[in-house]
């Protein structure tokens, strides 16, 4: 049974980690986009 | 990318996963020869099916990109390839765990395993091409590689019939599965397909933001030049 647990644990850890990486990547890009837009907004206002 | 479907898709994926786990561990009986370890089969086949699906999408997107040169096809190919590599990695991890417990060996250079490993290398190379090629050539190079690389997918699938040696659980020569095991397998495949769609949408959303950032930076650069 330990092999079954190993296979399912690895699968779920892998999927969880990949989803987490995607989420962090998305959050970082959105932050960068927002900062860039804010900088452009300030530039055109000033 | 419109994200109004992200939450419902995540919910459907989660529900399907829970139903699949119930079917695998409670509904489907323990196989008489391999015993509990046969349960690995459901996750192994579920991830393998989705790796094939992901690479098929890469193939279709690559053909469409070469015909139209529209960036959305390039993004679709890239997003699907990354998820395909993730699923193939899982196939290459769960396969040896199953092999070790059932046949007392982690790895053997038999055709199915070897062609699957080659498939993994092909799409890792595809991702490396995308990461290293220049902007103007990246799409075309990746699309050509995505089309040629897909040739290995039917070879992986048919390797068992052509050269034998890998266990066949499904199919006319493999004796098939009892109805309860088949139900668990179908649910597992459906759950992983929902997961694939969720991850694909998520990845496409990221690529859309990346594209927007690139365009914005380019506009700024032109403005200051």
Tens-place pLDDT, residues B127-151: 999 888 777 788 899 999 999 989 8
| Ramachandran bin of A43, using left for φ above 0, alpha for ψ from -120 to 50, beta for the remaining angles | alpha
Q: Which residues of A touch B (CB under 8 A)?
A: 1, 3-4, 6-8, 10-11, 14-15, 18-19, 22-23, 25-26, 29-30, 32-33, 36-37, 40
List the single range of A23-32, B101-110, B206-215 with lowest mean pLDDT. Answer: B101-110
Q: Which residues pair with B31 in a beta bridge?
A: B35
Q: Does B220 touch chain A (CB under 8 A)?
A: yes
Q: What percent of chain B has pLDDT over 90?
A: 55
Which among A2, A5, A11 is the top mutation candidate for probing chain B, defined by the most B β-carbons within 10 Å of its own β-carbon? A11
Considering CB atoms only, which of A1, A22, A40 is closest to B206? A22
Alpha-carbon distance B88 to nearest alpha carbon in chain A (angstroms): 11
- Asked if the model's pLDDT at residue B103 lies above 70, the reply is yes
Chain A residues touching residue B217 (CB < 8 angstroms): 36
- Asked if the model's pLDDT at residue B162 lies above 50, the reply is yes
Whether ipTM tops 0.90, in short, is no
In angstroms, rounded to a whole number, what is the distance separating the alpha carbons of residues B30 and B34? 8
Write down the pLDDT at residue B174: 45
> Is A14 close to B36, i.e. CB distance below 8 A?
no
Q: Identify the CA nearest to B89 among candidates B116, B115, B58.
A: B116
Which among A1, A2, A6, A7 is the top mutation candidate for probing chain B, defined by the most B β-carbons within 10 Å of its own β-carbon? A7
Check: CB of residue B170 under 8 Å from CB of residue B176.
yes
pLDDT tier at B220, thresholds 50, 70, 90: confident
Write down the pLDDT at residue B185: 93
Mean pLDDT of B195-208: 94
Check: CB of residue B139 under 8 Å from CB of residue B192.
no
> What residues contact B46, with CB distance under 8 A and at least 6 apart?
B20, B185, B188, B189, B191, B192
Upper half-sphere CA count for residue B155 (Cβ side, 13 Å): 13
In angstroms, rounded to a whole number, what is the distance separating the alpha carbons of residues B171 and B223? 62
pLDDT digits (tens, 9 = 90+) for B16-74: 999 999 999 999 888 877 778 889 999 999 999 999 999 999 999 999 999 999 989 99
Token output for B189? 């495949």
The DSSP secondary-structure symbol of B29 reads P
Domain ranges of chain A: 1-46
Residues of chain A with pLDDT under 50: none
Q: Identify the CA nearest to B203 among candidates B1, B38, B48.
A: B1
Distance, C-alpha B110 to centroid of its chain: 21
- Asked if the model's pLDDT at residue B153 lies above 90, the reply is no
Upper half-sphere CA count for residue A22 (Cβ side, 13 Å): 20
């Amino acid at each position: 049974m330990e092999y079954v647990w190993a296979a399912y644990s690895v699968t779920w850890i892998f999927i969880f980690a990949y989803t987490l990486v995607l989420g962090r990547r998305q959050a970082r890009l959105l932050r960068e986009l927002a900062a860039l837009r804010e900088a452009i907004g300030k530039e055109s206002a000033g | 990318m419109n994200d109004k479907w992200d939450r419902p898709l995540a919910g459907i994926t989660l529900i399907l996963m829970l139903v699949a786990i119930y079917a695998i561990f409670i509904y489907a009986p323990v196989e008489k020869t391999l015993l509990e370890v046969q349960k690995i089969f459901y996750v192994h086949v579920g991830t393998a099916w989705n790796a094939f699906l992901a690479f098929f999408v890469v193939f279709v997107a690559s053909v469409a990109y070469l015909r139209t040169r529209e960036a959305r096809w390039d993004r679709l190919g890239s997003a699907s390839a990354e998820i395909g590599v993730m699923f193939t990695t899982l196939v290459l991890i769960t396969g040896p765990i199953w092999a070790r417990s059932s046949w007392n060996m982690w790895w053997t250079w038999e055709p199915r395993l070897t062609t699957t490993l080659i498939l993994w290398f092909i799409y890792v190379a595809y991702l490396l091409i995308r990461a290293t090629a220049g902007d103007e050539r990246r799409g075309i190079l990746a699309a050509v590689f995505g089309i040629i690389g897909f040739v290995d997918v039917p070879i992986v699938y048919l390797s068992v019939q052509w050269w034998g040696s890998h266990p066949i659980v499904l199919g006319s020569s493999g004796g098939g599965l009892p109805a309860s095991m088949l139900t668990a397998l179908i649910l597992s495949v459906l759950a992983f397909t929902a997961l694939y769609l969720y991850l694909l949408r998520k990845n496409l959303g990221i690529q859309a933001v990346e594209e927007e950032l690139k365009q914005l930076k380019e506009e700024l650069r032109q403005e200051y030049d």
